[in-house]
Amino acid sequence: MEDKVKAGIIICDRYRACTGGKCLRSLRNREGAFSIYKDKYVELVGYTSCGGCPGGNIEYAPEEMIKNGATVIYLATGMLVGYPPCPYVSYFKKFIEEKFKIPVAIGTHPIPEKYFKVHTKLGTWDTPEWREMIKSTLSDEKIRLSYD
């Protein structure tokens, strides 16, 4: 990966009024999915919602982010922890990577403890596919609590 990363973030439309505080904090602190950039400069070049189910903005938003220099697109943690989690998140990743030829990462900030507890009890992430999707956003309890 290059020394400079330009990232776009797409959030679930349920959270369209989200100011991005947790995503931006995790980017600044290199936590959650952004922990892979400990020694890299990362610039946020786009932030938007998916456009609502079934994700109409997924067809257009990545192109605008790429015009702004995006080298990677993140599908926000809200898509993993919402009630229910986004049923389209895997498709969004495949679609964006195929259509726009840009890598897509699933998850941004660490999963908050309150969501971790509920989804663990519900068995939401008990499949291999879901375990892989949440891998970059799993943290220890102390960090999860700090994102509650």
Per-residue buried b or exposed e for 40-73, using 16+ beta carbons within 10 Å of the residue's own CB: eebebbbbbbbbeeebeebeebbeebbeeebbbb
Neighbour count for residue 27 (Cβ, 10 Å): 23
1 band by pLDDT with thresholds 50, 70 and 90: very low
Q: Which domain holds residue 131?
A: 4-146
Average pLDDT over residues 8-36: 95
Q: Which tokens in the block code for residue 68?
A: 């702004």
* Three-state DSSP class for residue 134: helix
Quote the pLDDT of residue 114: 97
| pTM confidence score | 0.94
**Do the Cβ atoms of 108 and 26 come closer than 8 Å?**
yes
**Do the Cβ atoms of 113 and 147 come closer than 8 Å?**
yes
- How many structural domains is the chain composed of? 1
Contacts within 8 Å (CB) and 24+ apart, 14-20: 14/78, 14/82, 15/49, 15/76, 15/78, 15/82, 16/49, 18/78, 20/47
Quote the pLDDT of residue 56: 94
Span 56-112, pLDDT tens digits: 999 999 999 999 999 999 999 999 999 999 999 999 999 999 999 999 999 999 999
Q: Which tokens in the block code for residue 60?
A: 């257009």
pLDDT at 29 exceeding the cut of 60: yes
pLDDT at 2 exceeding the cut of 80: no
Span 104-138, pLDDT tens digits: 999 999 999 999 999 999 999 999 999 999 999 99
CATH for 140: 3.40.50
DSSP letter for each residue of 80-113: HHSSSPPTTHHHHHHHHHHHH---EEE--SPPPH
Quote the pLDDT of residue 3: 78
Quote the pLDDT of residue 138: 95
Neighbour count for residue 82 (Cβ, 10 Å): 16
Q: Which tokens in the block code for residue 78?
A: 């809200």
pLDDT at 139 exceeding the cut of 90: yes
